[in-house]
Every structure is written in C-alpha cells, then in structure tokens.
Amino acid sequence: MPRRSSSVVGREFGNGVRDAIKQTHMTHRQIAENLDWDESKLSDMVRGKGGVSEAEVLQLLAFCRVPPAETRHLITLYRETRENGYLQTPAEGWPDKMRVLIEQERLANVITVWSMNLIPGRLQTSDYMRAVVAGGVRDDSVDYEKVITTRLARRELFHWSREFVFFVHEQALRLPVGSPDVMKDQLLHLLGMEQRSYITIRVVPTAMGAHAGLSGSFMQLRYEKFEPVVFIESQTSGLFLEDKASLAIYAKALKLLDRQAMDAVQSKELITSILN
C-alpha cells in the first residue's frame, strides 16, 4: 500500500480524485475531518503518491458521491499504480490518450524526442499531418481534423521555461509526405522553429548506417519533481515506461544518438540543402 513517489498513472488517478473532491465544494480539511483521516493522506492521494488502500479509495469516492462508471475507472487506475509503467488503451480512443500525454508534457521541463520515420509530431505543419493521415491506416470512428487541432494545440507548450531536443533521422526529412509544396513548407517550418533558443534539432545522417534508435521512435520526459518517463506510441495505444531498467536503456540510447547525430549547425545546413 505505501508508495510515496508519483507515477504517470498515479498522477492521472490523482487528477480524477481532485475532480471528485471539487464537486463536493468542500476543502481537503473538511473532507479529511469527515472521514477521520489525516489531511496529508488526502494530499498524497491527490498528488498521485498513494499511501491508501483500495477500501479507503472507495470510502472517499462514496463520500464524494462519484457515479459508478467513474468509480470503476478510478479504481482501475488505482490498481494500475502498482504496476511498472502505464499502458493506455483508452475506451474514448485517441483523444483520451492524447489528453494524458499533453498533461505529462505540461509537467515536464525537458522533453527529448527521437523520430525515425517522420518529422516529430510537435514540429509538423497541419498540411504535413493531413498528408500523414491520407497515406496511413484510417479509423472511420476518428475525427482526424479534431486530432490535428489537438496536435497543433501542443505547440502552446513551447516555452523558454522548457527545453526541447529533437533527434530526427535524415530519412524522415527526405521522405516525401504530401506534395512538394507541403514538404517545402514543412522544412521551412523546421528551420523557423530551430531558431528558438530552447529548441534543438539534431539529425542522424543516413550515412551513419546502424544507429541507437533502430528499435523505434520514443519520447523522454524529465521533470523537476518526478522521476523521468519514456513514452512510446502505437496506432491504438500509448505506453509510459517508468521502471528503472527500461529508463536506463532509453537513456543510453539517447547518449548514443547524441554522439551519432550531427550538431545543431550541421543539422540546419542539411535541412537547408534538402530544401534547396
């Protein structure tokens, strides 16, 4: 039961508990007094740090009169807080998966991305996104324009208070996605974004051959207050890795990519040469 470190699923669980408490219009102290709890127990629960039993979670949710469906959802999240990592196969599909990722990105202060086949999502133009959708497997239940709008909204997180490092394979820059005009605008957009002091774009050249990122694209999120996590996205799910062994492997991969990639100036020159 005791757990004093916050995980991705723990923070997601804590957000749900916070919403439940908010609906009561009561303070944490008032609720703690009604449940005969120490206020710190409620505070730890809201911050995703655990320290409570499933029975106590049910007690709180019942006190807050949380509907059965939401109670089942929060209990599922609570049980997953004991696992290493968080596999998302959300019932609401893509939008819910993206919501959790954006929340974790908002908390992170250093975001490092490795992208092997495409321009990193956060750096894509809307036309490039539409071309990716047009050339891929489509799900008729998904509103892709809404997906694109949500992805574009992630740009709001670009801020000097955070550091962004993008490792991109040269093949992603040369892969023709959409028309020549779409690719031209996309490459110009990259050159524009890399002028920001808090954004670094590093290209792994094709001439490198085998490299540290061959296992696939991923994102590392580092926080001031929490342990780092690695996010891997598939067609239908998202996986947050938090166990020490996995984090060590991906950290080692990033160190190798740092040695194998061109520096920022060389990368800019390569992008410019492709553009010309």
Distance of CA 54 to the CA centre of its chain: 27
Q: pLDDT tens digits, residue range 196-235?
A: 999 999 999 999 999 999 999 999 999 998 889 999 987 7
Q: What pLDDT is stored for residue 156 in this prediction?
A: 85
Q: What is the 3-state secondary structure (H, E, C) of 171-222?
A: HHHHCCCCCHHHHHHHHHHHHHHCCCCCEEEEEECHHHCCCCCCCCCEEEEE
For the domain 86-275, what is the CATH code? 3.30.870
Query: What mean pLDDT is reported for the chain?
Result: 87
For residue 69 the two structure tokens come to: 């469906």
The CATH topology of domain 8-80 is 434 Repressor (Amino-terminal Domain) (1.10.260)
Q: Please state the φ and ψ torsions of residue 228, each to the nearest 5 degrees.
A: -70, 160
The reply to whether 8-80 and 86-275 are identical in fold is no
pTM here? 0.76
Q: What pLDDT is stored for residue 1 in this prediction?
A: 43
Question: For 146, what's the count of Cα atoms within 13 Å in the CB-facing half-sphere?
Answer: 9
Stated as kind and residue range, the H or E segment containing 168 is: strand 163-169
Which stretch of 97-106, 204-213, 254-263 has the lowest confidence by average pLDDT?
97-106
Look at the block and give the residue holding tokens 């911050």. Answer: 47
d(CA 29, CA 176): 58
Q: Domain map of the chain by residue range? A: 8-80, 86-275
Predicted confidence (pLDDT) at residue 133 exceeds the cutoff of 60: yes
Averaged pLDDT, 88-110:
73
Q: pLDDT tens digits, residue range 142-190?
A: 778 888 888 888 888 898 999 999 999 999 999 999 999 999 999 999 9
